[in-house]
Amino acid sequence: MVRQHVNPLSAFFQQPRPLPPPPQLFANPARPLHLDIGCARGRFLLALAQAEPQRNYLGVEIRQALVRAAEADRRALELSHLHYQFCNANVSLQGWLAALPAGLLERVSIQFPDPWFKTRHHRRRVLQPALLLAIAGALSEGRTLFIQSDVPAVIEPMVALIEACGCFDRPAEDARPWRVGNPLPVPTERETHALAQGLPVYRVLYRRSGAALPPLAGLEAWWQERLLHSRRSPGDSQTEPPHP
């Protein structure tokens, strides 16, 4: 499978695109919400929304053509509890998350994000400190964040950032360093492709702890230091995470 990239740091994708609140998206906005960040063509959420219709689903994606195609599929099936929105998650999603009613967001998934392998492009990766804290702020204690990738160099920094923020725990029963199975009943297309090729998939499930959010400035400074260290050496930074 070939990934089609867009540069999220370009001027076009840095324009804020306000997202509609749940009452404007869903027929029953009080249902628990699953947010899939980087939903691509949307087929994963399309299948999941039909398999588990008891909640609402929102997929956000930076490639506008994929959002249009996904929305066409959704409309054809008349699924009022599923929507797709075009946006840059690191520009437009934080305010939307902050405005959600407490307890509405049930789970967040970030699956097989664009890898942006070159070190100088790591700032283009989807999970950045401000977005992570916005997710943590919107999730009530016990609600979940699920990440997976087939590229260790992509998921390992995500794990480092999530654990550095101090707002999430891993279920005691999950295997380390990677969860064995997918906690969701539907695989993504990328997951299906990787497994069919006999390739490993790296998964981690997190639950929101009761810890307070750390200061964004401290987490951002730690993250920038980690990026700087990665330019100087081929290995990951071993700097200590910030303390809340």
Whether omega for the bond prior to residue 113 falls within 30 degrees of 0, making it cis, is no
Active site residue 36: no
DSSP H or E run through 11: none
Alpha carbon distance 222, 244 (integer Å): 12
Alpha carbon distance 40, 6 (integer Å): 12
E-strand spans in the chain? Answer: 33-37, 56-61, 82-86, 105-111, 144-149, 168-169, 202-208
Per-residue b/e over 138-165, b at no fewer than 16 CB within 10 Å? bbeeebbbbbbbbbeebbebbbbbbebb
Alpha carbon distance 66, 63 (integer Å): 6
Alpha carbon distance 34, 59 (integer Å): 8
Q: Choosing from 36, 73, 114, 150, which is the catalytic residue?
A: 114
Residues with catalytic roles: 114
